Amino acid sequence: MGATRREFLEAGAIIGAGAAVAATAAVTARLDHRTTDPVGEETVRHIDVLPSVKPSPEEDVLIRMQRDLARAMAKPMEQRRWVMIIDTRKCVGCHACTVGCVAENHLPPGVVYRPVVTEEYGEYPHVQMRFFPRPCMQCDVPPCVPVCPVHATWKRPDGVVVVNYDRCIGCGYCITACPYNARSRDLGEYWLDGAAEADTPSELPILGQNAPWEKIASNEYAKSWDRTKGSPLGNARKCHFCLHRLEVGQLPMCVTTCIGRATYFGDANDPDSLVSELMAAPNVIRLLEHLGTEPRVRYLI
């Protein structure tokens, strides 16, 4: 004799209650461990920058920004205010920054921190192209932070919005909340998935599926993240201004790979920095400023 409708509903309620308890326990466990960012002297870094090269007004902007970075890192984290400025007049749409970012952070398909948006404008025959590199805006009022149910994302004292991959449950709320589409989900894909399939291993071509270089751990947030063992697989991912590079005195990868010197980075709290100088330009804009998110990425147009 089959189960009655009442028995079926009762069984469903028991299963549903069990799943809810399990989910609640998982969320509660993650809420128990909030992150406290280090501040003060322990965050100070003393970095030598080309000690044999004297500063010059004609020096490459990369060298100047390297000096700016060293001054910023010599201060405690809470006294730095990182900003990025992108000169759209110099961007040629080469995507070197995008490729450099993918290589630096070992990003899988579907995850991109630094796309370059291409726009065509004008009327034939007077048509032109312009390009907008779009990293995470590192908002001062980030909409992605309050929607996270497990406090896996927050703004550090230096203004960089970060993600704790160990705590992220992959719910995607932050991805939906970001008005700049600056977050994406790591779906666990690899660049060569499906590119080379065969019945036996001996038939696979060189660099076929499971290429070793695709599984090299990334160094985001100054930790080693092995996707074959879990996070950041399934997590929300985003640009973090290459914090792991800043810690060792290196500029973000997108800054150093820009062939047109169109991307500037530095400490806005340093009045002598290049970014402080550029922020005062009359042609500086911020994207979707009416939303009140206070993005730290600015554009020169």
**What is the model's pLDDT at position 55?**
87
pLDDT in tens, 227-237: 888 889 999 99
Residue 86: Cβ-neighbour burial (10 angstroms; 0-12, 13-18, 19+): buried
pLDDT in tens, 22-58: 444 444 444 444 568 999 999 999 998 888 888 888 9
Sign, CA torsion 162/166/170/173: negative
Q: Which two tokens stand for residue 296?
A: 């730290």
Q: What percent of the chain has pLDDT over 70?
A: 83
Domains and CATH numbers, the chain: 73-190+211-300 (3.30.70.20)
Q: List the Cα angle 42/46/52 in 5-degree steps.
A: 175
In this prediction the pTM is: 0.83
Q: Which helix (H) or strand (E) holds 187?
A: none
- Strand, helix or coil for residue 68: helix
- Strand, helix or coil for residue 40: helix
CA distance 135 to 116: 9
